[in-house]
Amino acid sequence: MCLFCDIADHTFKDAYIVDETEKTITFLDINPANEGHVLIIPKMHVDSILDLPDDYVLEITAVSRKIVRAYKEVYCAPGYGVMQNGGANCEFGHFHFHVFPRLPGDGYDWVYPEGEKEVSAEVAAKLSKAIS
């Protein structure tokens, strides 16, 4: 279905696989923010968390915690980053969690778009209403 599906079913042989569970596979990102940057993917082709069953969400979260523990051991990393772009912003069309170690002075940074953004009780209320 896609490259990530091929990695998940082991038909693509060149991925550097770090971990595999019943519902996930984790491999090195080929364009890492830092050494050890991995992608955790579900073994099902969806592009959004909205289409991912809860048990997959939970397993991906549990795997990300295992990876962060490994960063402490391997890199003595005092921090980490987790990032996920979904839906129309899912770069490969297959849901994936970016997880990478953060090291002092590593130069990684968020880039926010310019402009004012509202932070208010009204914003919180409209989101809260949509959840309930």
**Among 20, 33, 43, 45, interactor with Zn ion by CB under 5 A:** 45
Task: Tell me which residue of 24, 21, 18 sits closest to 4, measured CA to CA.
Answer: 24
Residue 94 known to be catalytic: no
CA distance 71 to 109: 19
Cα angle, residue 80 at apex, residues 72 and 124 outer, rounded to 5°: 140
- Which of the ranges 2-10, 26-34, 105-113, 119-127 carries the binding residues for Zn ion, by CB under 5 A? 2-10
Told to check if 123 binds Zn ion by CB under 5 A, we report: no
In the complex with Zn ion, which residue's Cβ is closer, 2 or 74? 2
Q: Which of residues 57-116 bind Zn ion (CB under 5 A)?
A: 94
**Among 2, 30, 62, 123, interactor with Zn ion by CB under 5 A:** 2
In the complex with Zn ion, which residue's Cβ is closer, 4 or 80? 4
CA distance 77 to 81: 11
CA distance 14 to 7: 8
CA distance 9 to 79: 31
Told to check if 1 binds Zn ion by CB under 5 A, we report: yes
**Which residues contribute to the site for Zn ion (CB under 5 A)?**
1-2, 4-5, 45, 94
Which residues carry out catalysis? Answer: 96
